[in-house]
Amino acid sequence: IRTQGKTYYDSDNTPVRMLGTVLDITEFKRLQQQKDDFISVASHELKTPMTSLKASIQILDKLIKTNGSSEKITAFIEKANISLTKMQHLIESLLNVSKITAGQLALNKTYFKAGDMITESCDHVRMAGEHEIIVSGDTDIDIYADRSKIEQVIVNLVNNAVKYAPDSRTIIINIVRRTKTVKISVQDFGEGIAYDKIPHLFERYYRVDSTGVQYSGLGLGLYISAEIVERHGGKIGVNSEAGKGSTFWFTVPISN
Ligand code: ADP
């Protein structure tokens, strides 16, 4: 329980009255725990049917490619594939939340090229064909990190750039080499973020539009991204201006 307020004393210095607010954070913690537990169970339950659905679509895709099919069917399969990839990303990030809250997020580090990893992470946006993603800077640089986890950070930032910049089609990803790390930034030209909201963005379940009326979401993408980056010893942040757009950036090591 947190209390905040003012105590009034009489002439003998005996407290006579206290005025203030009491905030019960045990209730807040209990609700957080309930959300965490639900996410853990739901993501595990979703994973199995999702994997088999993805396998079926991939077989169908192969059959079509070898035996031929109408353009319409090919287009439907492609659409289904894009949606499935999005769902897989979502389930993967929910599973990671469970691992993070349980302190069990393991890293499997290898060397890989920054540019290749970024191109692969943006495939689903490119396939959807509605946004132009410009990748600039040191694309050939090697990173030493858990590739699938860093891909998840890129996916989260790029998906946000798509979601929170509905009227802009351009997203710029920049790779800059520093002494021992590489800095990757994802820039959008969307609505930006008010200054006073910025300190909360990386908190679990935080959303600027908490009612979800305008944009749907769980408020977990940036929390997961921050945890992944920090586990790699990197830093994450944002430069943003309301009405102009946002540049989310993070650093990762280039060697062990
Ligand atoms: P979600 O998008 O599911 O709400 P995130 O953790 O990814 O969760 O983001 C938290 C909040 O930060 C979002 O609800 C949104 O208000 C804000 N935000 C994130 N990325 C951007 C962006 N590129 N532009 C504007 N606001 C953003």
Q: Is 237 in the pocket of ligand 1 (CB under 6 A)?
A: no
How far, rounded to the nearest angstrom, does the alpha carbon of residue 171 sit from its chain's CA centroid?
16
Ligand 1 centroid to residue 219 C-alpha, Å: 7
Across residues 27-49, what is the average pLDDT?
90
Ligand 1 centroid to residue 196 C-alpha, Å: 14
The protein residue whose alpha carbon is closest to atom 3 in ligand 1 is 217
Ligand 1 centroid to residue 83 C-alpha, Å: 20
Lowest-confidence range among 98-107, 112-121, 124-133, 205-214?
205-214
The protein residue whose alpha carbon is closest to atom 8 in ligand 1 is 219
User: What does the pLDDT read at residue 2?
Assistant: 55
Ligand 1: atom nearest CA of 222 is: 6
Strands (E) in the chain, as ranges, are 2-9, 15-23, 110-113, 132-137, 142-145, 170-177, 181-188, 236-241, 245-253
Ligand 1: atom nearest CA of 224 is: 6
User: What does the pLDDT read at residue 256?
Assistant: 66
| C-alpha–C-alpha distance, residues 140 and 117, integer Å | 10
Question: How many other CB atoms are there within 10 angstroms of residue 124's CB atom?
Answer: 20
| CA atoms within 13 Å, Cβ hemisphere of 136 | 8
pLDDT digits (tens, 9 = 90+) for 1-10: 555 677 788 8
- Per-residue pLDDT band for 250 (boundaries 50, 70, 90) equals very high
Predicted TM-score (pTM) of the model is 0.84
Across residues 55-75, what is the average pLDDT?
88
> Among residues 134, 145, 132, 224, which one has the least CA distance to residue 175?
134
Q: Is 93 in the pocket of ligand 1 (CB under 6 A)?
A: no
Ligand 1 centroid to residue 194 C-alpha, Å: 12
The protein residue whose alpha carbon is closest to atom 14 in ligand 1 is 207
Q: Is 222 in the pocket of ligand 1 (CB under 6 A)?
A: yes
What ipTM does this complex have? 0.99
Phi, psi of 228 (to 5 degrees): -65, -45
User: What does the pLDDT read at residue 154?
Assistant: 97
User: What does the pLDDT read at residue 86?
Assistant: 84
The protein residue whose alpha carbon is closest to atom 19 in ligand 1 is 160
